[in-house]
Amino acid sequence: MKQNIKFALFGLGIVLCLCACKKDYTAVESPSFEVAVDSTTYSVGKPIIFHFSGTADVITFFSGAPGSEYKFKDRTTVEGTPQMQFTSYRQFGATAATPDTTLKLMISNNFRNVFDVENLKAATWTDISDRAQFSTGTDNTPSGVINLADFNKKDSPVYVAFKYHDFKSAVSQRTWTIKNILVQNKLADSTLATVATSASISWGALDVLNNAKVWSFSSTQIQMAGGAIGTDDNEDWIISQPLFFNRTARAVGVSIRNNPTAVLTDYTFAGYSSPGTYTVSFEAINASKWDNKQVVKEITITVR
C-alpha cells in the first residue's frame, strides 16, 4: 500500500512539473523585419547604408562576397580542381644556371603522418617536380600554378613534401627557401577556395641522412640550409600535415545586432573591393530557450 502511494505521488509530481513547463512555454513570433537600400548600384569602395524597419533579436549580415555568401553558411565540402603555387630561392652550391635535382616536390595520398624513415619509405610518393618552376638563383621565383587534380580523392588526405638531397663536394651545398605557399581549390564558377597558406599549413621535418642540417620552418617560409664545403651527403624531407582538398570553411557573417533591447535603424557596409553582382543577406532571428523563428531578407547589389 505504501509503495503504491509512493508511486502515485511520484507520478503526480511529474504531471505537475510538465504542466508548469507548459504554462511557462511561450511561442516565439517570427521577426517582423524589412531591409531597404538607397540604390542597388554602387562603385567599387563606395560605402552602402542599409535601412531597417521592424525588429529582431539577432541580425547577421552576409555581404555576398567570397567567404560571406549566405547560401554557403553550412557548406563544409566542395568539388573543384586543387592547385598549388609557391616561390623559391636557390643559393650557394654550383653556379650552373639550370635547375638541379637537390630539391624535389613530392606528394602522397597514403603517408601515415608518422615522422620516421620507416613510414616515409612505406608511403607511395610521386615526384611532381616537373610541374613546377624552381629558382636558378633569383629570389621569389614563381612556381606557376601546379594542377593536383590527379591526387584529389574525396575525404582522402594529401601530403605535400619537399625533398632535399645534396652531396659532399668541393663546393658548399645548396640552400633552398620556399615562400608564399598557397593551396587552393578552383571551383566550377572559377572562384578559388583556399585550402592552406604559408601561415596556416603545418609542417613536420624528417631527417634521413646527416642530421647536422635540417629543414626549418615558420609562418612565412620553409628553408633548408645546406652545409659548407666538404659536408657529408644530406637528405631531409619536410612534409605537410594532411590536406583535404574538398573541405572548405563555412561562409561567415557579421553579427550586427545581438542585444534585443538595442535599437538598430541602419547599418553601414564599407563597400566592395571588386566589381560584380552580390547577393546581400540579412539573417534575422527571434529566439527563446524553447523556440526560435528565422527570416532571411536579400538584396542584389551591382558594383561597377
- Residue 7 domain-assigned (yes or no): no
- Residue 121 domain-assigned (yes or no): yes
Distance CA 51, CA 37 (A): 6
- pLDDT of 143 reads 98
**C-beta of residue 18 within 8 angstroms of C-beta of residue 280:** no
Is the pLDDT score of 14 beyond 80? no
- Residue 3 domain-assigned (yes or no): no
- Residue 141 domain-assigned (yes or no): yes
- CATH at 287: 2.60.40.10
- Residue 57 domain-assigned (yes or no): yes
**C-beta of residue 223 within 8 angstroms of C-beta of residue 135:** no
pTM for this predicted structure: 0.73
Give the range of the structural domain holding residue 165, as residue numbers without chain letter.
81-240
Task: Please indicate, yes or no, whether residues 203 and 274 belong to a single structural domain of this protein.
Answer: no
- pLDDT of 241 reads 97
Task: Please indicate, yes or no, whether residues 259 and 233 belong to a single structural domain of this protein.
Answer: no
**C-beta of residue 257 within 8 angstroms of C-beta of residue 211:** no
- pLDDT of 153 reads 86
Average pLDDT, the chain: 90
- Residue 4 domain-assigned (yes or no): no
Task: Please indicate, yes or no, whether residues 39 and 92 belong to a single structural domain of this protein.
Answer: no
Kindly report the backbone phi and psi dihedral angles of residue 139, in degrees, each rounded to the nearest multiple of 5, phi listed first: -70, 150
- Residue 178 domain-assigned (yes or no): yes
Task: Please indicate, yes or no, whether residues 70 and 208 belong to a single structural domain of this protein.
Answer: no
Q: Where a domain ends, among 240, 262, 282? A: 240
- pLDDT of 129 reads 98
pLDDT tens string 153-205: 887 899 999 999 999 988 999 999 999 999 999 998 888 889 999 999 999 99
- Over range 125-154, report the average pLDDT: 96
**C-beta of residue 146 within 8 angstroms of C-beta of residue 233:** no
**C-beta of residue 90 within 8 angstroms of C-beta of residue 135:** yes
Place of cell 593536383: 148
Task: Please indicate, yes or no, whether residues 102 and 197 belong to a single structural domain of this protein.
Answer: yes
Task: Please indicate, yes or no, whether residues 148 and 207 belong to a single structural domain of this protein.
Answer: yes
Task: Please indicate, yes or no, whether residues 183 and 281 belong to a single structural domain of this protein.
Answer: no
Query: Is 15 exposed, middle or buried (CB count within 10 Å of its CB: 0-12, 13-18, 19+)?
Result: exposed
Q: Where a domain ends, among 240, 264, 283? A: 240
Count the domains in the chain.
Answer: 2
Task: Please indicate, yes or no, whether residues 88 and 178 belong to a single structural domain of this protein.
Answer: yes
**If residue 162 lies in a helix (H) or strand (E), which one and from where to where?**
strand 159-166
Task: Please indicate, yes or no, whether residues 264 and 205 belong to a single structural domain of this protein.
Answer: no
Task: Please indicate, yes or no, whether residues 236 and 154 belong to a single structural domain of this protein.
Answer: yes
Q: Where a domain ends, among 219, 240, 261? A: 240
Task: Please indicate, yes or no, whether residues 45 and 169 belong to a single structural domain of this protein.
Answer: no
Nearest to 146 by CA among 217, 200, 88: 88
Q: Which residue has the higher pLDDT, 20 or 282?
A: 282
- Residue 227 domain-assigned (yes or no): yes
Task: Please indicate, yes or no, whether residues 274 and 223 belong to a single structural domain of this protein.
Answer: no
Q: Which residue has the higher pLDDT, 2 or 280?
A: 280
* Cross-strand bridge partners of residue 292: 287
Is the pLDDT score of 223 beyond 60? yes
